[in-house]
Amino acid sequence: MLTAFDTLSTAFETVFTAFDTPLTAFDTLLTASDTLVTAFDAVLTAVETTYPPSDTRFTAFDRPAGLADTAPAAPAHRGVRNGQTGPHASTSLAGP
């Protein structure tokens, strides 16, 4: 009876070790990720302290006064190929 229990105990320990090794590695990865997030948060806090969101010193470089904060609508075409324009312009270099 003790031999069967010892065999079962050894099998359980083997399975536990097989699961414990990747879990330990994953825990190490999470700890490293948490460290990076904490460092990134410190950098963001320093930037926001130096340049708060209400700081308007740089808005003149972003856009002329009076323009909306939204981006303009995308054009119907993304360029010109072989003298064609518009949404159905050829993308072939050899011609339409």
pLDDT tens digits, 28-80: 999 999 999 999 999 988 888 887 766 565 555 555 555 555 555 655 555 55
For 74, the 3-state DSSP assignment is coil
Predicted TM-score (pTM) of the model is 0.41
Q: Which domain holds residue 30?
A: 20-48
**30 within some domain:** yes
79 and 89 Cβ atoms separated by less than 8 Å: yes
**34 within some domain:** yes
**70 within some domain:** no
Assigned token pair, 4: 């069967």
**8 within some domain:** no
Assigned token pair, 77: 């075409």
Q: What is the pLDDT of residues 5-29, one digit of tens each?
A: 899 999 989 988 888 888 999 999 9
**43 within some domain:** yes
